[in-house]
Amino acid sequence: MSRRETEDPRSDQQLIAAANAGDEDAFEALYERYRDWVINLALRFTDDRHLALDVMQDVFMYLAGRFPGFELTAQLKTFLYPAVRHTALALRRKHHRSSTAFSLSASVCVFASPPSEDLAPLADAMRSLPAAQREIIILRFADDLSLEEIARAVEIPLGTAKSRLHHALRALRADERLKKYFDR
């Protein structure tokens, strides 16, 4: 049960096939591969370390419940993203029920760690983006999903994903402080 030192060399598809055949180690390798991404994503939505851990466990328990018979038709991140998002927002809503209402706009702006000085302008610009556009930018650049995968993960039409990315990039490009990121 201790942490492994090396990552399993098998692809996600191979690990899923093995897990479908009953290989617990293959499932644990998937957990190891996506654990940090899932908890970081959960933190973006909850801004609460303990809640994020709860989300992470719930999401992987949900994934465990899909075996055997789980079929992956895209990146595993596109499957995990809506699960993390729904679970995190539901848990957060439950915890904030007695306080003021919150919306997605309050989420997805939490950084993994306080931004360093050189990233402060970018962090500031990201905060000022509408939440829906910010979400697409993070998925595209930080999580490295394609627009098609983003549309699937966020459960929106591809055209909407393209439009949000376009508008978000236009807003960032218009910020003089961020000129260096757009110079070629």
Partner 1 sequence: MADEHDRQGDDLPELGRALRRLYQPSADVPADTDAAIRAALRLGFAESRRKRLVFARRLAPFAAVAAAAAVVLLAIWLATLGPPSAPPQPAVARTDPADLDQNGTVDILDAFHLARHLEAGEAIDAALDLNRDGAIDSLDVDRIALRAVSLTPGAG
Give 129's DSSP letter: S
Q: CA separation (Å) from 169 to 26, 56, 79, 166?
A: 39, 30, 25, 5
Nearer to partner 1, 13 or 179 (CB): 179
Residues that bind partner 1 (CB under 8 A): 1-3, 19, 22, 24, 27-28, 31, 35-37, 39-40, 43-44, 49, 52-53, 56-57, 60-62, 64-69, 79, 82-83, 86-87, 89-90, 93, 111-113, 115-116, 119, 122-123, 126, 137-138, 140-143, 146-147, 152, 155, 159, 162-163, 165-166, 169, 172, 178, 180-184
Give min distance, CB of 9 to partner 1, in A: 20
Structure tokens at 147: 């627009």
Please give the single-letter amino acid code of residue 165: L
Place of tokens 């760690």: 113
Nearest to 90 by CA among 143, 39, 37, 51: 51
Q: Which is nearer to partner 1, 13 or 36 (CB)?
A: 36
Q: How far is the CB of 2 from partner 1 (least distance, A)?
A: 7
Identify whether the C-beta of residue 28 lies closer than 8 Å to the C-beta of residue 3: no
